């Protein structure tokens, strides 16, 4: 299970890097979304995902690796909220760019800027 998730993380990072390098702002935005989600999965992995019991001390004392660590899950929740705010902001930023330049292609935007400077 862990190995599978590690492979998934690698794949998703590759995908998001490809999207982040794109000239098209909407793709870049999706790259950001996928990247932040993947990092959250990595955090989840750090706290063991395969533990089957809730993290309470029960009568039968289990070995530590039977539990999932709840703290990483709390951290992921925080990270998700923050990433959500950031994504919302970038979405608005992209919209502003589209309104101002009538395109979301970075090359065309830079060309437009150059023309204005001259």
Partner 1 sequence: MSTVLILPFLICFSTVVLTTLTWRRTRLQKMIHLIASAVFLFSAILLLYKVRQSDISTIAVGGYQAPFGILLVVDYFSALMIFMSAMITFVVGLYSLTDISKKLQRLGYYPLFWLLNFGVIGALMTGDLFNLYVWFEVMLISSFVLLIIGHHKSQLEGALKYVSIHFLATMFMLLAIGLIYGLTGTLNMADLNLLLAQSQNPTLVTTSIVLIVLAFSIKAALFPLFFWLPSAYHTANGTTAAIFSGILTKIGVYALIRTMTLLLPDNVWILTLLLFSATMTMITGVLGAVVQYNFKRLLSFHIISQVGYMIMGLAIYTPFAIAAAIFYTVHHMIVKTNLFLLSSISIKIGKTSDIRKLGGYYDRYPVIALLFFISAFSLAGLPPFSGFWSKLLIFQAAVYSGHAKVAIAALAVGLLTLYSMNKLWVQVFWKTPPPRPDLESNAEHLSYYLSLLPCVILASMTLAISFFPQPIFDFMLQVSQQLLHPELYVQAVMQGRHV
> Which spans of this chain sit near partner 1 (rule: CB under 8 A)?
20, 25, 28, 32, 35-36, 39, 42-43, 45-47, 69, 71-72, 75, 78-79, 82, 85-86, 89-90, 93, 96-97, 100-101, 106, 109-110, 113, 116
Q: Using the minimum distance from each CB to partner 1, give the nearer residue, 53 or 71.
A: 71
Q: How many CA atoms lie less than 13 Å away from 91 in the CB half-sphere?
A: 8
Please state the closest distance from residue 54 (CB atom) to partner 1, in A: 18
Count of Cβ atoms closer than 10 Å to residue 30 Cβ: 17
DSSP 8-state symbol, 20: H
Cβ-contact 66, 51 below 8 angstroms: yes
């Amino acid at each position: 299970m862990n190995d599978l998730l590690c492979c998934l993380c690698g794949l998703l990072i590759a995908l998001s890097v490809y999207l982040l390098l794109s000239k098209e702002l909407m793709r870049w935005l999706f790259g950001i979304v996928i990247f932040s989600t993947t990092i959250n999965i990595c955090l989840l992995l750090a706290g063991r995902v395969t533990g089957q019991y809730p993290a309470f001390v029960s009568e039968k004392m289990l070995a530590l690796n039977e539990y999932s660590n709840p703290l990483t899950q709390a951290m992921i929740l925080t990270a998700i909220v923050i990433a959500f705010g950031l994504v919302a902001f970038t979405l608005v930023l992209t919209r502003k760019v589209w309104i101002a330049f009538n395109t979301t292609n970075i090359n065309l935007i830079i060309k437009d800027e150059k023309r204005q400077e001259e």
